[in-house]
């Protein structure tokens, strides 16, 4: 599902539930033309069964696990309170502030924060699989995409509030 509107700074809240072995994601600042509504190029809040899906073991230091900025920054989920069991509802939140600070939240806990377009961000992107796309995630605005890989992943209570 792709939003028809584009967004710059906002708070996006959503509930999600994974089936065993599932892979999905919420992409933001999506920039590529889409052949289907299933995929597109954009920054991604990873939604994944870390135990059963092989992608969780790829990448670098866990940067492809649940709530990570996919293939760029791993989420910090040191406490088991961050995750619900497979089949239970989780709450995700992405906050993009007007100053380009971005936060990923999982079940009420902030699990990562970065500054979009900062020098550190650019270095991390240069060392990711996204390095081949010039200006990856750098545009001022973009739509939001709920990615679908054919696995059973459910979303509800999707709410967005623009920030000024």
pLDDT tens digits for 132-154? 988 899 999 999 999 877 788 99
β pairing state of 101-106 and 109-115: antiparallel
Query: Which tops the pLDDT comparison, 79 or 161?
Result: 161
Counting Cβ atoms within 10 Å, is residue 144 exposed (0-12), middle (13-18) or buried (19+)?
buried
Is the confidence at residue 39, as pLDDT, over 70?
no
Task: Determine the Cα–Cα distance for residues 48 and 71; give it in Å rounded to an integer.
Answer: 13
Confidence of residue 31 (pLDDT cuts 50, 70, 90): confident
């Amino acid at each position: 599902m792709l939003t028809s509107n584009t967004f710059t700074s906002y708070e996006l809240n959503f509930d999600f539930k994974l089936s065993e072995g599932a892979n999905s994601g919420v992409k933001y600042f999506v920039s590529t033309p889409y052949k289907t509504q299933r995929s597109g190029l954009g920054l991604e809040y990873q939604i994944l069964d870390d135990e059963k899906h092989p992608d969780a073991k790829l990448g670098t230091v866990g940067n492809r696990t649940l709530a990570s900025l996919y293939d760029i920054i791993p989420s910090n989920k040191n406490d088991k309170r961050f995750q619900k069991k497979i089949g239970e509802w989780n709450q995700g939140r992405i906050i993009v502030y007007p100053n380009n600070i971005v936060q990923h939240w999982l079940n009420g806990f902030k699990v990562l924060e970065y500054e979009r377009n900062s020098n550190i961000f650019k270095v991390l992107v240069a060392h990711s699989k996204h390095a081949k796309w010039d200006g990856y995630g750098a545009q001022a605005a973009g739509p939001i995409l709920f990615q679908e890989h054919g696995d059973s992943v459910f979303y509800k209570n999707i709410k967005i509030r623009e920030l000024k």
